[in-house]
Amino acid sequence: MKEKLEEILIKVKEKLKSINDENALNNLRSLTLGKKSEISSLMANFRDLPVEDRKEYGKLINEQKQVLEELFEVKRNQILAEKLKEKLAKEEIDVTIPGAKLPLGSSHILNQVIKDFERLFIGMGYEIKDGPEVEKDLYNFEMLNLEKGHPARAMQDSFYIDLETLLRTHTSPVQARTMLKSEGKPIQIICPGKVYRRDDDDQYHSHQFMQIEGLVVGKNITMSHLKATLLEITKFFFGEDKEIRLRPSYFPFTEPSVEVDVYDGTSYIEILGAGMVHPNVLKMGGYDPNEFTGFAFGIGVERVAMLKYGIDDIRLFYTNDVRFLKQYKGGL
């Protein structure tokens, strides 16, 4: 019987060598230890033995069973470890492989220009303000000295929502709003934003465009402050050696009024309107024109961008052609 058990053990060990998956191992295990196995039939012989031998015999078989179980267990662990190793090898992550590249966008060129303006003006002590694009007739016109029926309203053909409400035609209404809020204190602000006019779109006109409004109100503010500020803007954007020209002009909300042209090497190009804040505008904003003066300006953002970057069609800013936008990456 002992030899028989030996034999079984050797056979199983031999078979285990060639097994390397769990199913085969389970099959071998039930063949070796299951109901129909040799060991089970040895157990069945148990009853035929003399009583005094039974104890010894049972012990041997049980020990043998345990040895076999351990062999199977060891093999099972080996198979699982091997499987895990393979899985890990397959799933190994190569951290040196370059990542998937996502296309990276950038700030729109007009926003870049606005950011540049903001940097310049913050450096000069200005605050950045914001105003609504859907505006009241009161702020867009009346408080800027353009009462209802004023002929100069015709210069800014508008999109009306109702008789008292429109898409703002310029950023100037922020002047009136800021004066009312500032309650007689000195003011030094700029306000960038979108404005709308009923223009037919062409190379130089767009029904929607951008302006940057500037307003300074205080004591003893003079035209020379305005001129120095305009020169700062020009030098910052177009270079130290650039010249500007102030042309007398007319805006109902400034007196005197000027238009500012930058010399581009061949001709003068208009980039903004400006002037000394009209006494009526100061009064309506809650400032005594005998005590306070101020200057204001309105810059065309597209104009500045076109001049600076040599862009010859305003529609390029708004048609979302990536080939155009890509040329002005940056500002992120």
Binding site for ligand DAH (CB under 6 A): 170, 172, 213, 251, 254, 273-275, 296-298
Nearer to ligand DAH, 170 or 177 (CB): 170
Residue 104 Cβ vs ligand DAH, minimum distance, rounded to whole Å: 35
Nearer to ligand DAH, 32 or 211 (CB): 211
Nearer to ligand DAH, 68 or 167 (CB): 167
Nearer to ligand DAH, 28 or 216 (CB): 216
Which residue's beta carbon is nearest to the bound ligand DAH? 298
Residue 289 Cβ vs ligand DAH, minimum distance, rounded to whole Å: 15
Residue 272 Cβ vs ligand DAH, minimum distance, rounded to whole Å: 7
Answer whether the bond into residue 186 is a cis peptide, omega within 30°. Answer: no
Residue 95 Cβ vs ligand DAH, minimum distance, rounded to whole Å: 56
Nearer to ligand DAH, 72 or 251 (CB): 251
Residue 311 Cβ vs ligand DAH, minimum distance, rounded to whole Å: 20
